[in-house]
Amino acid sequence: MLNRPVPSRTSAWILLIFIYYIAAASSFGGFCTKWQFRDDSLMSLRLALDGTQNKPFVYRQLLPMTANLVDSAIPQKAKVSLIHKLAGDIPFSNPIHRFFPGARDSVVPEYAVRYLIVYAMTFLSMFAALFAIRAVCIELIGDRVASTLAPLVIAAVFPLIQTEGGYFYDMPELLFMALGVWLTLKRHLVSLFVVVFLATLNKESYLFVILTLYPIATMRYSHRQSLLLMGVLLGVAAAINVAVKLRYMNNGGGMVHYQLADHVRFLLNPLNYLRTEINYGVSTTKGFHILHLFLVGILAKIGWRTLPPAVRMQTWIAALITVPLFIAFCFKDELRNLSLLIMPFAFLVCATISVVLAQTESQRARQPVVPRKQEPLDAHIWRAW
């Protein structure tokens, strides 16, 4: 083993916070560059704030409702000054419109403050999600170095899974999925119920996330207790779903969009596994590209067997739920709709990094230490000259 200096706990956290902040900013910037807030579309943030979006998009109300509440609580004098800054000197006074001019409604006085609130909450969700993923990887995988590196991978690839769409509620969804696993492992039930409430208000599909938590729960509870816990959590999620759907029952659209035939035709076309797109300003592979499938295969080959049995079971449950729904109801190649598999993917990445690091340390330990020959003093003098 190499003798390495150990930084203080405070120094380590300062470095980690800075690195995760930059990673979250890069990921968030990749999302905003591609999709911004879908202005001039039926999925725009403006319609979400008004509650006039079509179903099912209008169901994702956590951030719009929060922005509306915060906006209403700001004193009128302060709000007038803020609106003047955000909507008065276009585009330099508004950070959203300055860097993402496609977000046209961010400079509309009626929406400018609320756009900024949603913008900030979306980024902070990604920032917090990296710490949550790290914490749950430490609990499940146990390798602190690998657990620290894995969230960086997730942040980097996150814009790549937003292939045919990207939305402000995607990053809070990632945070809530990580928190759901971590709180289950830590037995923080009150906090878990709060997360289920907020997560379901953010996106109605969190009900399916709860189903994937059962194997995780059995790591801390008996099977009977785990079933009871899942049942209560499902009841909370179902109640929130019903309340939201009743609230917006008169909006246009439908609960789901049936796209099985188009999706199957897409998946059967070999050319669709060679598509590319622009991410981070450069050309990258897209969606179900053959390279992506190959890389996932490498991860599975290296890390799958080292995953805890509960995580492998969680992965199978997530796949059995999400893959049929994805093929039947989701738009072709839109990987973000496979969101139930994001946390299992993060665990697989962490396990793979852990295996590779362990192999590297093992190889170093087996290498014989060859002492350096003592050079004459005059050799050091001549080298200095």
Q: What does the pLDDT read at residue 373?
A: 57
> What's the average model confidence in pLDDT over 342-349?
97
The whole-model pTM stands at: 0.91
SS3 call for 15: helix
Q: Which of 340, 307, 310 is nearest to 323 (CA)?
A: 340
Highest-confidence segment of 3-17, 95-109, 114-128, 255-269? 114-128
Strands (E), 206-351: 276-279, 282-285
Least confident of 126-130, 208-212, 263-267: 263-267
Judge contact between 193 and 239, C-beta under 8 A.
no
Crossing angle between the packed helical segments 144-161 and 112-140, to the nearest 10 degrees: 140
> What is the band of 371 on the pLDDT scale with cuts at 50, 70, 90?
low
Percent of the chain with pLDDT over 90: 75
Kindly report, residue by residue over 237-295, the tens digit of the pLDDT.
999 999 999 999 999 887 777 788 888 899 999 999 999 999 999 999 999 999 999 99
Has residue 385 got a pLDDT over 60? no
Percent of the chain with pLDDT over 70: 93
Q: What does the pLDDT read at residue 376?
A: 55
Judge contact between 192 and 184, C-beta under 8 A.
yes
Q: How far apart are CA 254 and CA 340, in angstroms?
A: 22
Has residue 313 got a pLDDT over 50? yes
Judge contact between 23 and 151, C-beta under 8 A.
yes
Has residue 383 got a pLDDT over 50? no
- Residue 176's CB is within 10 A of a number of other CB atoms, namely 24
Q: What does the pLDDT read at residue 377?
A: 47
Q: Alpha carbon of 95 to those of 32, 47, 103, 119: distances in Å?
A: 12, 21, 11, 10
Q: How far apart are CA 120 and CA 171, in angstroms?
A: 11
Has residue 1 got a pLDDT over 60? no
Has residue 347 got a pLDDT over 60? yes
- Residue 96's CB is within 10 A of a number of other CB atoms, namely 23
> What is the band of 91 on the pLDDT scale with cuts at 50, 70, 90?
low
Q: How far apart are CA 127 and CA 217, in angstroms?
A: 26
- For the chain, the straight-line distance linking the first and the last C-alpha, in angstroms and rounded, comes to 35
Kindly report, residue by residue over 298-310, the tens digit of the pLDDT.
999 999 999 999 9
> What's the average model confidence in pLDDT over 329-350?
93
Q: Which of 323, 339, 347 is nearest to 158 (CA)?
A: 339
Q: How far apart are CA 300 and CA 302, in angstroms?
A: 5
CB burial of 252-270 (b: ≥16 within 10 Å; e: otherwise) equals eeeeeeebeeebeebeeee
At CB < 8 A and 24+ separation, what contacts does 363-367 make? 364/1, 364/2, 365/1
Q: What does the pLDDT read at residue 223?
A: 95
Q: What does the pLDDT read at residue 370?
A: 59
SS3 call for 55: strand
Q: What does the pLDDT read at residue 381?
A: 40
Kindly report, residue by residue over 19-46, the tens digit of the pLDDT.
999 999 999 999 999 998 988 888 899 9
Q: How far apart are CA 67 and CA 205, in angstroms?
A: 22
Kindly report, residue by residue over 137-188, the tens digit of the pLDDT.
999 999 999 999 999 999 999 999 999 889 999 999 999 999 999 999 999 9
Has residue 88 got a pLDDT over 70? yes
Q: What does the pLDDT read at residue 382?
A: 39
Average pLDDT across the chain, whole number: 91
